[in-house]
């Protein structure tokens, strides 16, 4: 995905985002439950056999074996200790670490998690790579271009490392995230540019990996997990103004769209327990955060099975006409319940979520978005293509007709909703007619924002093994440009409808364009630029005060450009709850 913020104006492309396979499946509860897939019962049987079979001691001559109850001592399960490393070897000893984050918002969140883990071990953070003892690149693999950027950067950093004064601690370079997972040892071996490699589920192991690297050896952990959600790692949020934060609610993806590397780099879908999400949002609210974006590869596929009472044999509801390409597991606390609980924590806190899958928008989710004032009326609905034939080749689990029916349903339930989408041009076998169908879908839906990409073939995917990447590069490019034009045209029309209308804007800070201007975002996540000024707290107030980041202001649109929307500012408003009231007053 894109660099830091998922919703950017049209035609700005963004790079994608996006843990360790273990023997253990996540179970609904500690007790066996009656409904299991065959695969789960096999896994259970296997675990029971391992748990009740002979232990390591059994094979060691002379070792005493307690046949009654095998004892696992604390130091056997304490993953912080490693017998072959001295006691404090994982300490950062105030070494400085510099993170460079590429790709999607998930990578920004991964950076916060990795930093939280290293900070606890005594590392210091720097944003100046020349100052850093350790440089960690949080990487993306979604398209070839994203990986090429990382290879170029690794060569630059290696040149820098070689030029470093011999009197200084030798610089260590690490690659974290998707690219580490995809390329594994190839990354360590090719060009010898790296000291440390950690996949998306291995950040807890970073202190150990770095300590091995400081000892002069390469270190790597690319194990994926069925369970890791970093639920207990409180990420260190780094947003410049501190008024908005991203909260990870799930990791991984089970969808296996035929073009996508994410399920291979980020592993299976798993959800963070609701209790830890609510705790983090409470803390953020107490810190004055005004906007939280719930984050995950498929946020709305959220399914928390951590508590017994969440388990049932009921299948989760899908959008009408949509199906999963995998066997959906039953039970669990679903996205609608999570969204409900999160949005009740602080009525002054805006709630967004990204990135959802169109299959998981049952009416109860849409009704909740409509009814709850602080849930933003903004939905990302990645279509990928407007042609049913291409959608089938992509293994998306829906047709053009089902997608359009969903759009109609969303617009009917949430009037004025802001819609955005992802599209891929030139996928395997895409004909000119398929492409025209995508153009017509864009015209029909009238999105506010779009993220458009030319297809980039990725090894390991279904498309790599089974389909032909047969659309020439120049045709992909031409079709991409046509999609961009269509998006621009339609988004201009949709966003023009805002002229003359009053909107609630959460102020972010000074506009990049001018120190005289401030910028913020409306409910639909469109950027709003307006003059810096003093405004009244209420329409009837005579007293005015300056507008600060984190304030909500009511503003009226004057004009809009492709990049931003310009407004007149009316007055501060204390909360989201005031929104409808303030609008009534104004009108």
Task: Tell whether residue 255 is a contact of ligand SF4 (CB under 6 A).
Answer: yes
Q: Give whichever of 414 and 463 is closer to ligand 5AD, judged by the CB atom.
A: 463
d(CA 454, CA 471): 10
Name the residue among 19, 439, 437, 458 with its Cα closest to residue 258: 458
Site for ligand 5AD in 501-540 (CB under 6 A): none
Q: Least distance to ligand 5AD from the beta carbon of 228, Å?
A: 22
Q: Give whichever of 132 and 471 is closer to ligand 5AD, judged by the CB atom.
A: 471
Beta strands across the sheet bearing 244-248: 244-248, 291-295, 350-354
d(CA 242, CA 285): 11
Task: Tell whether residue 381 is a contact of ligand 5AD (CB under 6 A).
Answer: no
Task: Tell whether residue 424 is a contact of ligand 5AD (CB under 6 A).
Answer: yes
Task: Tell whether residue 252 is a contact of ligand SF4 (CB under 6 A).
Answer: no
Q: Does residue 238 contact residue 35 with C-beta atoms inside 8 Å?
A: no
Q: Give whichever of 364 and 482 is closer to ligand 5AD, judged by the CB atom.
A: 482
Residues in the chain: 587
203 DSSP assignment: G
Beta strands across the sheet bearing 418-425: 378-380, 418-425, 449-454
Q: Give whichever of 255 and 511 is closer to ligand SF4, judged by the CB atom.
A: 255
285 to 304: interface string for ligand SF4, x by CB under 6 A: ------------xx------
Name the residue among 297, 266, 325 with its Cα closest to residue 460: 266
Contact of residue 298 among ligand SF4, ligand 5AD, none (CB under 5-8 Å per partner type): ligand SF4
Task: Tell whether residue 300 is a contact of ligand 5AD (CB under 6 A).
Answer: no
Task: Tell whether residue 206 is a contact of ligand SF4 (CB under 6 A).
Answer: no
Q: Least distance to ligand 5AD from the beta carbon of 442, Å?
A: 14
Q: Least distance to ligand 5AD from the beta carbon of 530, Å?
A: 31
Size of the site for ligand 5AD (CB under 6 A): 14
Contact of residue 456 among ligand 5AD, ligand SF4, none (CB under 5-8 Å per partner type): ligand 5AD
d(CA 540, CA 502): 17
User: CB under 6 A: which stretch of 105-113, 276-284, 331-339, 454-462 binds ligand 5AD?
Assistant: 454-462
Q: Give whichever of 103 and 273 is closer to ligand 5AD, judged by the CB atom.
A: 103
Q: Give whichever of 99 and 455 is closer to ligand 5AD, judged by the CB atom.
A: 455
384 DSSP assignment: B
Task: Tell whether residue 458 is a contact of ligand 5AD (CB under 6 A).
Answer: yes
- CA 56-59-60 angle, to 5 degrees, is 95
Task: Tell whether residue 263 is a contact of ligand SF4 (CB under 6 A).
Answer: yes
- The tokens for 317 are 């509801």
- Radius of gyration of the chain from Cα atoms? 25
Q: Is the CA virtual torsion 371, 349, 418, 524 positive or negative? A: positive
Task: Tell whether residue 259 is a contact of ligand 5AD (CB under 6 A).
Answer: yes
Q: Give whichever of 352 and 357 is closer to ligand SF4, judged by the CB atom.
A: 357
- Strand 517-521 relative to strand 527-531, pairing: antiparallel
Task: Tell whether residue 178 is a contact of ligand SF4 (CB under 6 A).
Answer: no
d(CA 270, CA 325): 17
Using CB under 6 A, pick the residue from 105, 301, 384, 525 that binds ligand 5AD.
Answer: 384
Contact of residue 255 among ligand SF4, ligand 5AD, none (CB under 5-8 Å per partner type): ligand SF4
- The tokens for 127 are 């944003």
d(CA 141, CA 15): 9
Residue nearest to ligand 5AD (CB): 422
- Collect all residues with Cβ–Cβ distance below 8 Å to 469 and sequence separation of at least 6: 428, 455, 457, 463
User: CB under 6 A: which stretch of 34-42, 87-95, 251-259, 365-373 binds ligand SF4?
Assistant: 251-259
- Helix, strand or coil, per DSSP, at residue 468: coil
Task: Tell whether residue 250 is a contact of ligand SF4 (CB under 6 A).
Answer: no
> What is the helix, strand, coil percentage profile of the chain, to 5?
35, 20, 45
Q: Give whichever of 292 and 428 is closer to ligand 5AD, judged by the CB atom.
A: 428
14 to 33: interface string for ligand 5AD, x by CB under 6 A: --x-----------------
What CA–CA distances, in Å, run from 447 to 135, 444, 491, 538?
A: 39, 9, 6, 34
- Helix, strand or coil, per DSSP, at residue 85: coil
Extended beta strands in 81-171, E state: 96-101, 124-125, 134-139
Q: Give whichever of 1 and 212 is closer to ligand 5AD, judged by the CB atom.
A: 1
Using CB under 6 A, pick the residue from 208, 357, 435, 521 that binds ligand SF4.
Answer: 357
Residues that bind ligand 5AD (CB under 6 A): 1, 16, 142-143, 259-260, 382, 384, 422, 424, 453, 455-456, 458
Which residues of this protein are in contact with ligand SF4, per CB under 6 A?
Answer: 253, 255-257, 260, 262-263, 297-298, 357
């Amino acid at each position: 995905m894109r660099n830091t913020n998922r919703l950017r104006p049209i035609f700005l492309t963004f790079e994608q985002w996006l843990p360790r396979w273990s023997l253990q499946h996540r179970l609904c509860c500690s007790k066996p439950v009656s409904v299991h897939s065959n695969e789960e019962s096999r896994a259970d049987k296997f675990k029971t056999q391992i748990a009740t079979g002979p232990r390591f001691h059994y094979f060691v001559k002379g070792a005493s074996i307690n046949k009654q109850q095998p004892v696992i001592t604390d130091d056997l399960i304490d993953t912080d200790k490693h017998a072959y490393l001295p006691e404090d070897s994982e300490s950062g000893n105030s070494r400085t670490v510099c993170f460079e984050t590429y790709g999607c918002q998930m990578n920004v969140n991964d950076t916060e998690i990795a930093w939280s883990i290293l900070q606890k071990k005594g590392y210091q953070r720097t944003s100046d790579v020349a100052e850093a003892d350790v440089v960690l690149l949080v990487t993306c693999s979604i398209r070839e271009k994203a990986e090429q950027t990382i290879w170029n950067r690794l060569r630059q950093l290696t040149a820098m490392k070689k030029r470093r004064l011999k009197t200084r601690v030798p610089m260590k370079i690490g690659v974290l995230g998707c690219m580490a997972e995809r390329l594994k040892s190839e990354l360590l071996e090719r060009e010898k540019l790296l000291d440390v490699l950690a996949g998306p589920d291995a950040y807890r192991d970073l202190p150990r990996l770095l300590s091995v690297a400081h000892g002069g050896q390469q270190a790597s952990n690319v194990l994926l997990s069925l369970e890791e959600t970093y639920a207990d790692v409180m990420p260190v949020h780094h947003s410049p103004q501190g008024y908005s934060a991203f909260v990870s609610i799930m990791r991984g993806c089970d969808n296996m769209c035929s073009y996508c590397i994410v399920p291979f780099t980020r592993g299976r879908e798993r959800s963070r327990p609701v209790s830890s999400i609510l705790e983090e949002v409470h803390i953020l609210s107490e810190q004055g955060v005004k906007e939280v974006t719930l984050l995950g590869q498929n946020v709305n596929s959220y399914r928390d099975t951590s508590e017994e009472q969440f388990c049932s044999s009921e299948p989760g509801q899908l959008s009408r006409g949509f199906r999963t390409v995998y066997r959906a597991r039953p039970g669990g606390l679903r996205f609608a319940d999570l969204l409900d609980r999160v949005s009740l924590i602080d009525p002054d806190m805006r709630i967004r979520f990204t990135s959802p899958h169109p299959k998981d928008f049952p009416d109860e989710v849409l009704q909740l978005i409509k009814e709850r004032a602080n849930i933003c009326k903004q939905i990302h609905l990645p279509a990928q293509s407007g042609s049913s034939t291409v959608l089938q080749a992509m293994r998306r689990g829906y047709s053009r007709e089902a997608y359009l029916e969903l759009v109609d349903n969303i617009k009917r339930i949430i009037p004025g909703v802001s819609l955005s989408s992802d599209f891929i041009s030139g996928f395997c076998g895409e004909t000119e007619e398929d492409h025209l169908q995508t153009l017509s879908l864009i015209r029909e839906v009238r999105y506010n924002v779009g993220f458009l990409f030319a297809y980039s073939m990725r090894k390991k995917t279904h498309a790599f093994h089974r389909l032909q990447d047969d659309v020439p590069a120049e045709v992909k490019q031409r079709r991409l440009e046509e999609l961009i034009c269509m998006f621009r045209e339609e988004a201009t029309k949709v966003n023009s409808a805002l002229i003359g209308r009053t909107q609630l804007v959460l102020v972010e800070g000074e506009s990049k364009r001018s120190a005289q201007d401030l910028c913020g975002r409306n409910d639909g996540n469109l950027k709003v630029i307006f003059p810096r000024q003093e405004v009244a707290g209420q329409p009837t107030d005579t007293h005015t005060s300056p507008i600060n980041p984190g304030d909500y202001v009511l503003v009226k649109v004057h004009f809009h450009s492709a990049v931003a929307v310009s407004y007149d500012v009316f007055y501060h408003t204390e909360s989201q709850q005031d929104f409808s009231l303030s609008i009534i007053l104004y009108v």
